Each structure stands twice: as structure tokens, then as C-alpha cells.
Copies of this chain bind each other. A is one copy, B any other.
């Protein structure tokens, strides 16, 4: 397989889970019908609003078991459209034990694998430590018919360690479903710095590892039910970058976007020959990376 056609689906969401899922299904079918992608990547927690703006035990009702009707839904979609689909679900593992989990469906509808978000944020309006236990499956790429997918989730995107471990375990591509946006009171220049930093650090992972990166974010404003903040203006800007961090696609920041982008897998092969960073890592001197701080 010399290239992969990657579909990205950047949507805004409502509190109507059934309708969110129905609309997403329609987009996936339409994209499959017209553009025949090999792989479709969805944004983080695409079935619901970004519910982590407040801490509420009631909202745990949004979580789904694996397997469940929800996974059946995406399984059928993958089989019907014959595409590999990366989903992002609120996983109910046991009473009182939840994860933020990406489930990847093979194009025959089987589950190719899952990744439980390892780095969990906690920030006003992003109270994820309340909901999600940090992942316990490590950083393992998921084998699929379109390649080894280095699926990570949102906050992971700020950690070079996560991307590197996926690369060292043979990932062909880094994938980040995400949900990130602006707080309304931030000044415009701060907003631009934040979005730019978010893209730059992920393009940096592409470069450091000679791998393409696919990041899909949500878009639109979601109010804070508690009224503590002005809510989140999700900044969209889903993007695909090549193994030199070069931008292949950038979605708008203020509206939905559905796009299919062709990634040349041979390019990673060549970029890594030109820039053989993996050759020269000083693994004899990296012990400190497993320390919290070296004071």
C-alpha cells in the first residue's frame, strides 16, 4: 500500500447523542460513497457534547461498554463502507471505572484494537481527571489493513514521549482525535498563540519521527452548564501533516469540515533516510526520561 486516503470529519455537536451519531453515520457513508477513503478519523468523544466542562456523576450515563450497541453501530458502518474507522468513545469498564478510549474498527467490521488515553488533563472546563482513569494499555500502535496506526488522544498530543513510543513500536502514522478550544475571555493574540502551539507541537512529532500526523478536532461553541466559564469555542483546525511536518490539509476554525487527504507512505521511507534521527538516539543517556523531575 503506497498511499492512504484519509478522511477526516470535523463536526459540531449537540446534546442529542442519537442525532450526533446519525449525522456522523451519514457523513461517513457520503464520504465513503464519493471519495472511497481507506481510513476515517473522527474527533474526540464525537457522540456527545464535550461533557467534561463540569463534574457530574450523572454524565457517566453517557459512557458505553465495549462491546455495546454503540460499537455495533460503528462496526456495521465500517463493514458497510469498507473503511477502517477510528472512533473516540467514553468507555464504561466497570462501575466507577471509565476511560477515554479510541476504538478502531477494521473494514470488515471487526475491532482492530483500542487505545485508552494515557495523559489525562485537568483544567477549568476540561475536568477530565474526574471522569477518566488514565489508560493502562501503554502506547501500542493498532494493526489494521491500512497500516499500523499510532492512535493517541488529545492531551497526549503535547507529549513527545507518546509520539516517540508509537514510532519506536512501528507506527506508520500518528492519529489524534481531539477536543480543544478557546475560552471566551482570552485575548485574540493569546488565542492565536494557543492554536499555533497546538499545531506546531504535533507537527514537531511528525518531524522528529518522520511520520505523518492526522488530527481531528471538534468545532463550534459549547456553553459551560455551570456558568463558571464562558464555555468552549472549539477551534476546529483539524489538519493532516506529512513526515516533514508539512501541512497537507487544514480545516477551518469556525465551521464543519469533511475532507479526504492522500498520504504518500513512501514519503516517510525517504524522509527517514534523509533525516535518520532514529539512527542517532542516545539511548545510553535517556534514563532520566522516566523520572518526574531531576532535581
Residues in chain A within 8 A of chain B (CB atoms): 118-121, 123, 134, 138-139, 155, 158-162, 164-165, 168-170, 193-194, 196-197, 200-201, 203-205, 207-208, 244-246, 274-275, 277-278, 280-283, 285-295
Contact = CB atoms under 8 A, between A and B. Distances in A.
Contact of A245 (B121, B159, B201, B290): B201
A197 B294 contact: no
A170 B294 contact: yes
Question: Would you list the 7 A-B pairs with minimal beta carbon distance, nearest first?
Answer: A204-B204, A160-B160, A201-B207, A168-B294, A197-B244, A169-B294, A201-B204
Given A168-B289, A283-B291, 11 more contacts: A119-B282, A139-B288, A159-B208, A159-B281, A159-B282, A161-B281, A161-B289, A168-B291, A200-B200, A204-B208, A278-B292
A120 B276 CA distance: 11
Contacts of A201: 204, 207-208, 245
Contacts of A294: 165, 168-170
A144 to B, nearest CB: 18
Given A246-B196, A280-B155, A288 B208 contact: no
Contact of A289 (B165, B205, B244, B275): B165
A81 to B, nearest CB: 32
Contacts of A134: 282
Nearest to A280: B119
Contacts of A282: 118-119, 134, 159, 161-162
Contacts of A160: 160-161, 164, 204-205, 208
Contacts of A204: 160, 200-201, 203-205, 207-208
A207 B203 contact: no
Contacts of A164: 160-161, 289
A291 B283 CA distance: 6
A286 B161 contact: yes
